[in-house]
Amino acid sequence: MATPAGSGTLARVTDASMPLRAKVASTVSRTAAALSRAAGRGDGSVIGGWIGLKIDPDLLSHLATGRRIALISGTNGKTTTTRFTAAAISVRGRVATNSFGANMPTGHTSALAKAGATAFAVLEVDEHYLPQVMTAVHPEVVALLNLSRDQLDRAKEVAMMADLWRQALQREPAVRVVANADDPMVVWAASTARHVTWFSAGQRWTDDSWVCPACGAHIRRGEDGMADNDWACAGCDLRRPDPQWTVEDDGVIADDGRWHQVRLQLPGRVNVGNAATALAVAAAFGVRPEHAAPPLAAVASIAGRYAVVDRHGRRVRLLLAKNPASWLEAFEMADDAPTLLAINARDPDGLDTSWLYDVDFAPLRGRDVIISGDRAYDLAVRLDVNEVPFRHVPLFADIVRAVPPGPLEVIANYTAFQDIRAELDRVV
Ligand SMILES: [Zn+2]
């Protein structure tokens, strides 16, 4: 179904198949979102979707009808992978997507209502909502990226999450799953699916998968005779499947064995991994890597993440890191340059900062490290224990002046990141 988006055929199909209540709900949802935007209250996707779903609880299902849909879920990388996937598939027609990261059903409803008729939709889904959204939209493809502790969720909860995914996939046998072969939790979750394409993007974080989710035995890694990224359960037959898509140098080996260079503006091997996932999903929609890869180079920043801003000759680059696995990734992305670490512990961040002890800050030794944020003192204690020298500079305007002209890497958790974005608007 290569119908170009907005074409008469698809628009007619979508409208005709929608009950009156759904049409009204969809219109009201779009209007509410537009009013919210006009009032300067964000992009309005949450409120618009919320109102639409109040009028018609099945609105998301109605809006999904007639579209080919991919859902992208996991603890880390889903916003970037969603953006890459939407860019890759857009070579075949318009794609509806929740590009502002509103990744719950209200956000999905709003994104589909706003986009109007499109042949395709690529939706980022909060991992807790994946089963519910799968039931509502009957996706063609589901991409499972990774599962790790987020805020203070512990390993037990990670395994529970994997089990929810497992059950959801069992209920949707037709769905094609694109899943991470390097993450034992994801492999176990995907093992109930009938059609799985495995990718390997390299997994730095392994602290949430020491124990097999299937049998409780330990997961073997790095033993004699095992390849670097291989793993296998010591007690049952859960083991790393052979991936069809792998990252190799600055490119991706596709399922036909051919290597494709991936040129990205976003930094780090992690993002090449996200690109590999996006290319595997695009291939499931019939877009081969030679067509799907070039649009990825146009993605420059995502809701401020990876944005580079010049201030007083300092090239400030913003990296968001919200849980231990993503801090490790950020250290890998950041260049060897003065580095600001900013930590808050407000509601969206999680109130407990003990996760700082899950992160090894040793890669920052030898860099000029500056700390700030509401919980800079927690970070100070952690860095001291980790033997990483640092300076505490509370105000962002002072931080910019405290480093020489050139690059300044900023790694911050959620609300600290938002604070710094706001500050950057002021530092002129
Ligand atoms: Zn096992």
- Residue 5: the pLDDT is 42
3-state secondary structure the chain: CCCCCCCHHHHHHHHHHCCHHHHHHHHHHHHHHHHHHHCCCCCCHHHHHHHHHHHCCCHHHHHHCCCEEEEEECCCCHHHHHHHHHHHHHHHCCEEECCCCCCCHHHHHHHHHHHCCCCEEEEEECHHHHHHHHHHHCCCEEEECCCCCCCCCCHHHHHHHHHHHHHHHHHCCCCEEEEECCCHHHHHHHCCCCEEEEEECCCCCCCCCCECCCCCCEEEECCCCCCCCCEEECCCCCECCCCCEEEECCEEECCCCCEEECCCCCCHHHHHHHHHHHHHHHHHCCCCHHHHCHHHHHCCCECCECCEEEECCEEEEEEECCCHHHHHHHHHHCCCCCEEEECCCCHHHCCCCHHHHHCCCHHHCCCCEEEECCCHHHHHHHHHHCCCCCEECCCHHHHHHHCCCEEEEEEECHHHHHHHHHHHHHCC
Q: How far is the CA of 174 from the centre of ligand 1 (A)?
A: 26
- Residue 27: the pLDDT is 81
Q: How far is the CA of 191 from the centre of ligand 1 (A)?
A: 13
Q: How far is the CA of 240 from the centre of ligand 1 (A)?
A: 12
Please tell me whether 236 is known to bind a ligand. yes
Please tell me whether 215 is known to bind a ligand. yes
Please tell me whether 328 is known to bind a ligand. no
Q: How far is the CA of 402 from the centre of ligand 1 (A)?
A: 51
Across the 428 residues of the chain, what is the mean pLDDT of every consecutive 10-residue run?
Answer: 40 59 80 72 73 83 95 94 97 90 90 93 96 97 92 66 96 96 96 96 78 93 87 96 95 96 93 96 97 95 86 93 88 93 91 90 95 96 96 94 96 93 74
- Residue 10: the pLDDT is 39
- Residue 13: the pLDDT is 40
CA distance 303 to 354: 27
Q: How far is the CA of 232 from the centre of ligand 1 (A)?
A: 8
Q: How far is the CA of 94 from the centre of ligand 1 (A)?
A: 43
- Residue 148: the pLDDT is 87
Selecting among 58, 207, 249, 352, the annotated active-site residue is: 352
- Residue 153: the pLDDT is 47
Please tell me whether 43 is known to bind a ligand. no
Dihedrals phi, psi of 352, to nearest 5 degrees: -100, 130
Q: How far is the CA of 239 from the centre of ligand 1 (A)?
A: 8
State the pTM of this model.
0.85
Please indicate whether residue 352 is annotated as part of the active site: yes
Structural domains of the chain in order of their starting residue, each with its CATH number: 8-298 (3.40.1190.10), 308-426 (3.90.190.20)
Cβ–Cβ < 8 Å for 77, 273:
yes
Residues 6+ apart with CB under 8 A from 117: 5, 6, 7, 10, 11, 13, 14, 15, 66
